[in-house]
A and B are shown apart, each in its own frame.
Chain A
Amino acid sequence: MVTVTEHAPRTRRNVELVLLLIAVGIAMLAYGMVGVGVDRTWSPGMVTYGAGLLVLTGGLHVVLRLRAPYADPVMLPIATALNGIGLAMIHRLDLARPDSAALAQRQLVWAAVGIVLAGIVLVVIRDHRVLSRYTYTAMVVGFVLLLLPLLPGIGKTINGARIWIGLGPFSFQPGELAKIMLTLFFAGYLVTNRDQLALAGRKVLGLQLPRGRDLGPILIAWAASVGVLVLQRDLGTSLLFFGIFVALLYVATQRITWIAIGLLLFVGGAFVAWTLFGHVQGRVSAWLNAFDPTIYDKEFGGSYQLVQGLFGMAKGGLIGTGLGEGRPQTVPYAESDFIFASLGEELGLVGLFALLVMYMVLVERGFRTAIGVRDGFGKLLAGGLAFTVALQCFVVAGGVTRVIPLTGLTMPFVAYGGSSLVANWMIVGLLLRISDSARRPARQVELRVPADTAATQVVDMRPLAEGAGGETR
């Protein structure tokens, strides 16, 4: 995992710049093509929009050159391309609904906020290991954010799921930020407690069972996720958090037992929730019997949206109708929850494959970072964040294509929604920061320390000072 390289390490920042220009070019072209498809003329805002995106992401690129020169060169261009394609699609839906607000502009503002925050993450956090000091702060903040939508007054139910809060004219999905906080917490908690979770306990039938008291954290995480399922009516959020927790538990302890226990608990909890609560049943039957006319015609909680999304994807077929040539606006929430179907309609199966492959590369780069970084906390954090992106893509696109019941989550980077966009740019910021230390040429002193335990020791024995990141140079 740690390779000793004789030759001078390369930062690959120029590769990043070239890829970034390509990504911005694709995004700008897509934005312009929307105008061609709808009005037979290039979208007038095409140049300012492309310039805006270039300034923002170019700025982040400069930050990387200065503050994280060894960061992964592919993540930023991919996030830019995804964000840009999403903006083009949202602009396309704006054109289809001339009387509604211009969402693409707002989304560009949110992208700016997200990219700036990613830059701040890179500037302020000089070494990701600093974050392990805030394990329990992250836990508290994470759970508060997660449960915020349940508060009367500010919690809002949209499209059946109660995963929103409203502050004045703005709506947020605090769960998007909570997922970063909780991944931080899981990583920090597990890196210090992994030994007792991994080693203590009896062996039954070849499976090493954990001790009763070690079951506490997983039970709490499980209770929280089932609570989310029942109270917020959203399988996606529930699946996301519990999935990240179980995944990281497994990575930290290497014990399949945890996965088995986790899966059993989740399936059991979901089943009980299904038998007890009407709204969970409604969601499941809208998924299983989507084409049943009685469920399709239901005014609330029916399958109209899902089926219309499928119709859109079917109309797109292999190569899509072309940007601006389809009717994605037929589907409710075509720009957020169903942007995957909207893209499928206009870009076709080919476009969706390209999109999914971009996500796959991003996730793969995240895992490569996790494997490359030398401290346990960084491994868990990077692995967790990468898995978050993968799991969220699965929950959203799986919901739209009827693999699992539909949820209220949105596709990372492409979907309209400020909270999601900001959170995902921050995730990219964190992954870039970790990848910088993963790819940075290792100092001799660190090579002598067994890699997996390095961070544990650092964290336990010598809490890092604010500027400690400098030490690793």
Chain B
Amino acid sequence: MNAPLRRLAVVAFLLFATLLVSTTWTSFVAAPSLNADGRNTRTIIEQAGRERGPIVIGDQAVAKSVPVQDVYGFLRQYDPGALYAHVTGYYSVIYGPTGMEQAEADLLTGTSDRLFYRRLSDLVTGREPKGATLELTIDPKVQKAAWDALGDQRGAVVALNPKTGDVLGMVSKPSFDPNSLAVHDAKQAAAARQKLLDDPARPLDNRAIAGRLYPPGSVFKLVTAAAALESGKYEPSSVLPGPATLDLPQTTVGLPNSGGRPCGPNNQISLADALRISCNTAFGSLGMDLGGDALGEQAQKFGFGEDLRIPLRVTPSSVPKDMNKPQEAQAGIGQFDVRVTPMQMAMVSAAIANDGVLMKPNLIRAARADDLSVISQPQPTELGRSVSPETAQKLTDMMLSVVNDGTGKAARIDGVRVAGKTGTAQHAEGRPPHAWFTAFAPADDPQVAVAVVVEEGGNAGDQASGGRTAAPIARKVIQAVMDR
């Protein structure tokens, strides 16, 4: 019986070998991801025991740690809470951090490798380690203007500096009070969280960059127009078919104009005018003529499909692949399965404003140590060229006419040349449309690119349109930038 006993001993050895592997896996290989899990209370308690650095917007600490007498030592406080809730996120000792609290946790807690030498000197001098101060690019005046203009409507506003990519404002409504989730009492935090999770308006969603994505509707015509101009086959003056209803091949359903009328005499219209009055049939036929691939490629150049960290994660926007002709026509006017974030539409305007060069959006101005020395300072980064400077100029002129003499008149500002585009996106049968507006200004020296979406028409309901509902909000945001 000795031979089988030896083999059984080998089996026992293999069982132990398996355990050596599995413990190595858990304690070493998978350890970093396990430690980063938001539910790992050990990491949270360890981090909470350290004084977390503040998050500063303008010259105000909108998130800061105050000492309290409990196991955690510090309580995170947000002031004003709801206005920046989606930017800062919240730091819950029970549910873990979200938003900027999570994205830059290493810097805020002082565990980042970038703080290595500082930690070393902390060790020598016996100083309590402190997290870095995070300064954001948000302009409080712009943020407040967007917040007030959106009012109690559901939706989002994004304002960018087109030349640097700095995020000047990022509002998502409805919002929430991060203080209610940052409390240390588990029951209170759970109740507050459950209430927010149960709210059908989904206040925890950051609609600006990461909510459920929206159909862009007519604001997407900027991408279609860009593709047309870049193809070399079209000029702003090129004549397009503009009937009341566009016949779609392979189907009995047509693509109608919103007013039910032709876009111009003889059912014809120029590309520039088609954008100005937002002619569906012209852009539908353009979509079919250019094809889905060309639309998709142009969209990609504007940042669609890009997995951005600003450093908050931006959900990639998308144009469907392998569309048939009717779907290409729908996609040409931003319908079918085209899905975007407000951030993405702001990026389209920003790229056109910046002579066709797309800058990477960014929320961080600088991270500073407590002696105010700069630890890191992101530099403006190009994501790539979206369109040629010539195309950018043509699109700018066309967008100017939208505001001066087209669907976007509500965004006009005296003395400021505003270039914009409206959108009114159908998203479900019998529901009010989403109202869109994206713009930049001033046209000759762009300071701000903005995108606004108002969900389901906001207060205007069925009567909503991009020009009527969203454009005035964009105007107030642009005004706030101009008044700085």
Which of B16, B28, B31, B34 lies in contact with A359, CB distance below 8 A?
Answer: B16
Whether A252 contacts B31 in the complex (CB less than 8 A), given A311-B40, A387-B8, A391-B15, comes out as no
User: Given known contacts A356-B16, A391-B15, A393-B19, is B27 in contact with A380 (CB within 8 Å)?
Assistant: no
> With A317-B27, A349-B27, A371-B6 in contact, do A402 and B11 touch (Cβ < 8 Å)?
no
Q: Label chain B's interface by main secondary structure.
A: helix
Residue in contact with A310 in the complex, picked from B5, B15, B34, CB distance below 8 Å? B34
Those of B216-270 within 8 Å (CB) of chain A: none
- B379 CB-CB contact with A under 8 Å: no
A349 touches B35 (CB 8 A): no
Closest to B36 in A: A314
**Residues in B whose Cβ lies below 8 Å from that of A189:** none
B12→A344 contact, CB < 8 A: no
**C-alpha spacing A239/B27, complex, angstroms:** 26
Bound CA–CA A327/B39 (angstroms): 14
Q: What's the dominant secondary structure at chain A's contact region? A: helix
Chain A interface residue number, banded:
35 or more
CB distance from B3 to the nearest CB of A (A): 7
B460 at the interface (CB under 8 A from A): no
CB nearest to A252 among chain B residues: B1
Measured CB to CB, the nearest residue on chain A to B31 is A314
Return the contact of B12 from the options A330, A363, A376, A397 (Cβ within 8 A): A363
Digitize A25-53: 1 where CB-to-B-CB distance is under 8 Å, 0 elsewhere: 00000000000000000000000000000
Residues of A within 8 A of B19 (CB): 356, 393-394, 397-398, 401, 403
A380-B1, A394-B15 known; A315 and B26 CB under 8 Å?
A: no
A318 in the interface (beta carbon within 8 A): yes
Q: Which residues of B contact A403 (CB under 8 A)?
A: 18-19, 22
CB distance from A15 to the nearest CB of B (A): 22
State whether the Cβ of B20 lies closer than 8 Å to any Cβ in chain A.
Answer: yes
Q: Is A188 an interface residue (CB 8 A)?
A: no
Q: How far is the CB of A296 from chain B (nearest CB, A)?
A: 7
How far, in whole Å, are A34 and B45 apart by their CA atoms in the complex? Answer: 20
The reply to whether A314 and B2 contact each other, CB–CB distance below 8 Å, is no
On chain B, the residues within 8 Å of A326 by CB distance are: 42
Q: CA–CA, A28 to B402, complex, Å?
A: 83
Task: Give the residues in chain B near A386, CB-CB below 8 Å.
Answer: 9, 12
| A394 vs B13: C-alpha distance when bound (angstroms) | 10
Give chain A residues whose Cβ lies under 8 Å from the Cβ of B1: 251-252, 254, 376, 379-380, 383, 452
Q: B4, A398: Cβ atoms under 8 Å?
A: no
Pair A254/B9 contact, Cβ less than 8 Å: no
Whether, in the assembled complex, B188 has its beta carbon less than 8 Å from a beta carbon of chain A, the answer is no
Q: How many Å lie between the Cα of A370 and that of B194 in the bound state?
A: 60
Inter-chain CA distance A447–B3, complex, in Å, is 19
Q: Which residues of B contact A401 (CB under 8 A)?
A: 19, 22-23, 25-26
Instruction: Please tell me if B405 contacts chain A, counting CB pairs below 8 Å.
Output: no
A250-B8, A386-B12, A393-B15 known; A296-B39 Cβ under 8 A: yes
The answer to the question of B37 belonging to the interface, with a C-beta cut-off of 8 Å to chain A, is yes
20 pairs from A and B in contact (CB 8 Å cutoff): A250-B8, A251-B8, A308-B41, A312-B42, A313-B23, A314-B35, A315-B35, A315-B40, A315-B43, A317-B31, A353-B20, A360-B12, A363-B16, A367-B12, A371-B2, A371-B5, A379-B1, A386-B9, A391-B12, A403-B19
Q: Which chain B residues have a beta carbon within 8 Å of chain A's beta carbons?
A: 1-9, 11-13, 15-16, 18-20, 22-28, 30-32, 34-35, 37, 39-43, 45
| New A-B contacts (15) at CB < 8 Å, excluding given A318-B27, A452-B1 | A250-B4, A251-B5, A254-B4, A307-B37, A308-B41, A311-B35, A313-B27, A356-B16, A363-B16, A367-B6, A367-B8, A393-B15, A393-B16, A397-B23, A401-B19
